[in-house]
Amino acid sequence: MFGLRKNVSLKDLTTFKVGGKADYFIEISQKRKLIQVLRWAKKKNLPFFILGNGSNVLFSDKGFKGLVIKIKNKKIRKTKKTLIAGAGILLPELSNIFLKNGWVGLEWANGIPGTLGGAIYGNAGAFGEEIKNIIKNVKTIDINSLKEKKYNREGCQFVYRESGFKEKKEIIWEAELITKKGNKKELKKKAEEFIKYKIGKGLFKYPSAGSVFKNIKIDETPFSKFFKKNFVFINGKKVEVKAGKVSAGFFIEQCGLKGKKIGGAMISDFHANIIVNFDKAKAEEILFLIDLCKEKVYKKFKIQLKEEIIVINT
């Protein structure tokens, strides 16, 4: 099949820069080609994984025993009140289009190395904003019927770092985004402040997948009775609460894990909810630190950390 490659290193396809090889790999920018590839994979009885820019994925050191399909659909077209964008467009590229036109809602996405499709899949967000806020509808390809489906925002079932697409056997192909006008100068200033904050925190110093765990909903913790308007007291410490959540990094740091290393992986010293590949880390080393965080936080706080990243062990 044209464009199909064998034994492709996954290290080069993820921002973690770890992982073995995929048995098969292909990049897809046309819907017709995607359907053709899905038929081929079904005929070969091959498991497959849909990849965006690999910014929220951890592949096993053993690789992926199947087909990795990278969605490269980056087409955009403007309607009167919306922008229709392919799932493969990178968030910084999309953010810049919004900023250039003075459209509200993607200032937070500048500097996030994911794709629109991946962002919709996990309802990505930052600084109190989420991708769901600008979604009008989403088009997918059903893996079984190979037919197109369309969902409005409510049909996407967005919640914090989740969407209904995690349960559906469908591939996000494109989305229609709301283009609401704002103050261009203010939006640009806001986006610049966000990116300066990330650079200042050292978020781009080493390969990583950003936040490893979802932040903790305060009403799901033993400390909810100590919750005030925008803070909560946890073991005598006053902790900030944003949008009803406490940073997962706070609990990890309180367990003394900030800066903890194993091999080439480290729980970062600038944010405890980020694990970095500082020296040719292996996936098993990163997984060890993930499990360590979950174990220690549960033991100390009786809180179960839940991964925001996708771990692929196939």
Residues annotated as catalytic are 161, 211, 308
Instruction: Give the separation between CA 105 and CA 86, rounded to whole angstroms.
Output: 17
